[in-house]
Structure 1
Amino acid sequence: MENRKSNKFHVPELTFGAGVFSGRYNHIEKDWPLLSIRRAFELGINAFDTSPYYGDSEKILGSVLHTLREEFPRSSYYIFTKAGRYGPKNFDFTAKRIQESVKESCRRLRTDYLDIVYAHDVEFVKFEDVVEEGGALPELFKLKEQGKIRYVGISGYPLDVLLKIARFQYERDQPIDAILSYSHYCLHNIKLVNYIEEFRYVGVKYIMNASPLSMGLFRNGEPPEWHPASTDLRYAVAQSAVLAARNNLNISKLALQFALDLDDITSTVIGLSNPNEVDEAIASLKELHARKKRGKTIPEIEKKILNEIYQILEPHFNHSWESPPKDH
């Protein structure tokens, strides 16, 4: 239990987003999870983000970590999961269900403790269900006191909702340990920058930036069918991808390196479906580090194309979609 008792919490710059194992983003071959996670360990990624909401993600991740336990013991990695959301419209933030959820996650992940548990998608329920006694956060803090989780977090899309909860917890002298924000620091939206200082002020220690590709928007090919982006934004991103490809550049790599260049966050969470994606993500990170070490900016052609991409995306810049959606 060295990892649980230790005060050290050294999360890598890249966190492995295991939500991809749900199959919601693309098809997953049976051997990919084991190959991808082993490759991630070999390249220094030792933090994994999942949720009961992500289909069989917890079960698959737990099975792989159990298989690799001789090479990589529990004390050598971090597991971040969530509680409160279990389906598109299935939310239960009651203390009883949160307690059950953490127990179930531990069973699926084959561990007796979790490093971070986030109250999942807090904007979908009443504020009181998140913060009041009998709700999610008081129960998560009790589980933290019991040693079953190390840190308490909240996740969601609207940054103002995350900040409202974080501020409330700070004022009650029980600050949130971790924030998981997504699609708010990527090529079309950088709103997270305006909130980092405020999150720090209200005691948030760990800020995770998820979805640097904006949930599969910035990838070669169509985004997932369920993606909430508007038709106009999808078209602008498609134009950007074509422009990048014509100049021998990859829109996914451009988007990832853009997000990885954000300072003052704890880690960037990215879905990694297969070993090649793990290699590509680490290669992008190393290239970025090498540039900084040499004191060089990005190549001129890349700078030129990025500027043109910014112009294409400009009409949609910092536009956030509604969450919850109107039909929720």
Structure 2
Amino acid sequence: MNTSTSLIAPTYQPDLNHRHPAFQKGSRLVYGTSGLGGVWGNVDPEESIACLLYAFEQGIGSVDTSPSYSRAEEFLGKALQRWRGERPFLSTKVGRLPAEKADECYVDYSPESMRRSVLTSLEKLGVDQVDLLFLHEPHLVPLDRMEEILDTLRSFQAEGYTRMLGVGGNPTDGFRPFVTQENFQVVSGFLKLDACNLSAFQQDLPHFQKHGIAYYAASALHMALLGNRFEAYVAEPPNTAWITTDDVATAQAVNAIAQQHNLPLASLAQRYLFSIKEADRIVMGARTISQIEATIRDWQAGVLPRDLFDAVTAAIVQQRS
């Protein structure tokens, strides 16, 4: 980690496909399926399946899903049935219950509910085991029941339902002490490591690196702020916990750099994240064929040149200082 800017500057990584030792298979680029399932709006089931198959054909060998992503597990299961290549690295989640919309959030961390959820996920996916099971929404986990929850998660490993365990979401200060190598091997954080926000460097990444825990950088386009919602959010900044006024202002500064280099903001943002060493895996969320084609083009274009990477980092740091 670069310490020249108060421990918040990412390390440039010229190797697009560098692999964290926690992962023996799968690609660094992960297909996040929340958009494919329908929680962010209506989807065409066949297009969602086609998106996954196209990604597999292009070498994307990691997929992340969840029961809370509406029909995403179902569509992924159908894509896996049709796919004739090597099975991708599969991760799903437990704790947050099925929902039709992104803002519907129901959780149940009881052993019975978690077991039922895992078995249902395996059935929908058409597999006997996933590679990684995330405990979803750590900010909602009842900390006074963590030992019971950890015992339940370990039982899933012992029974062969998953190889690895992870945390699916940004750990709170209260939850963070439970994030150790003994309990979890991966954390999937979101909105804290991208081209408008580097706040993961403040507490999360130092803790994870100390404990040898791999990091998924999810929501690569900051919930479309760095993509097709940029103009709308600039016109009317949401100023929510997910998209703050600082995020919007930083995105504007980064967009100015993108324009100077004749790059679409989304392409610059994704390739910036591809260039960050601390992003052990990057989760993108294309919803349509055109979006996944664009993401694949960005991936094939590779990491940013070092000077452009440094310019984006400097813009983020300056805006946030």
- TM-score bracket for this pair, using the shorter chain length: 0.7 to 0.9
Q: Secondary structure at the match of 1:268?
A: strand
Structure 1 residue 147: Cα displacement = 1.0
Counterpart residue identity of residue 288, structure 2: N
More divergent stretch after superposition (114-123 vs 240-249): 240-249
Which one of 185, 197, 207 corresponds to residue 177 of structure 1?
185
C-alpha deviation, 1:230, in angstroms: 5.1
Q: Distance in 2 between matches of 1:35 and 1:240?
A: 35
Post-superposition offset of 1:175: 3.1
CA distance in 2, matches of 1:142, 1:28: 35
Give the one of 57, 60, 65 matched to 1:45. Answer: 60
Is this contact kept in 2: 1:154–1:162, CA < 8 A?
no
What's the counterpart of residue 324 of structure 1? none
CA 1:127/1:166 → structure 2, altered by over 3 Å: closer, same or farther?
same
Q: 2:295 aligns with which of 277, 281, 302?
A: 281
Q: Do the aligned partners of residues 39 and 120 (structure 1) sit closer, same or farther apart at CA in structure 2, a change above 3 Å counting?
A: same
Query: Is 2:162 aligned against 1:154?
Result: no
| Partner residue in 1 for 2:12 | none
The question of whether the paired residues in 2 share the 8 Å contact of 1:11 and 1:266 is answered with no
The 5 A counterparts of 1:1-328 are: 9-68=24-83, 71-72=84-85, 76-86=87-97, 87=99, 88-129=104-145, 131-133=146-148, 135=149, 137-158=150-171, 160-161=173-174, 163-167=176-180, 174-194=182-202, 195-204=204-213, 206-221=214-229, 222=232, 228-229=241-242, 232-233=245-246, 236=249, 239-240=252-253, 243=256, 247=260, 248-289=262-303, 296-298=305-307, 306=312, 310=316, 314=319, 317=320
Residue in 2 that maps onto 1:322: none
SS of the residue aligned with 1:15? strand
Partner Cα distance (1:234, 1:264) in 2:
20
Query: Which SS does the other structure have where 1:28 is aligned?
Result: coil
Which sits farther off after the overlay, 95-104 or 119-128? 119-128
Residues of 2 paired with 1:66 and 1:118: CA distance?
23
Instruction: Report if aligned partners of 1:12, 1:46 keep a CA contact under 8 Å in 2.
Output: yes
CA-CA distance at 1:244 after TM superposition: 6.1
CA distance in 1, matches of 2:40, 2:254: 18
Q: Which runs of 5+ in 2 are unaligned?
A: 1-21
CA positional deviation for 1:55: 0.9
Equivalent-residue separation in structure 2 for 1:18 and 1:227 (angstroms) = 23
Q: Aligned with 1:31: secondary structure?
A: helix
Deviation at 1:200, TM superposition (A): 3.3
Greater RCO (CA < 8 Å, at least 6 residues apart): 2
CA deviation after TM superposition for structure 1 residue 59, in Å: 1.0
Could you tell me which runs of 5 or more consecutive residues in structure 1 were left unpaired when the two chains were aligned. 1-6, 319-328
Q: Which moved further from structure 2: 192-201 or 93-102?
A: 192-201
Letter in 1 for 2:88: Y
Change (3 A) 1:310 1:189: closer
Q: Which has the higher helix share?
A: 1
Cα distance change of structure 1 residues 190 and 271 upon mapping to structure 2, 3 Å threshold: same
Give yes or no for contact 2:94–2:134 (8 Å, CA) kept in 1.
Answer: yes
Percent of aligned positions with the same letter in both sequences? Answer: 22
TM-score (norm 1): 0.76
Q: RMSD in angstroms over aligned alpha carbons?
A: 3.1
CA 1:120/1:229 → structure 2, altered by over 3 Å: closer, same or farther?
closer
User: How far 1:260 moved relative to its partner?
Assistant: 1.4
Determine if contact 2:196/2:251 at 8 Å carries over to the other structure: no
Deviations 1:172-196 (CA, angstroms, capped at 9, x unpaired): xx33121111111012221223433
CA distance in structure 2 between the aligned counterparts of 1:258 and 1:58, rounded to whole angstroms:
29
* Shift in Å, 1:201: 2.6
The aligned amino acid for 2:36 is F
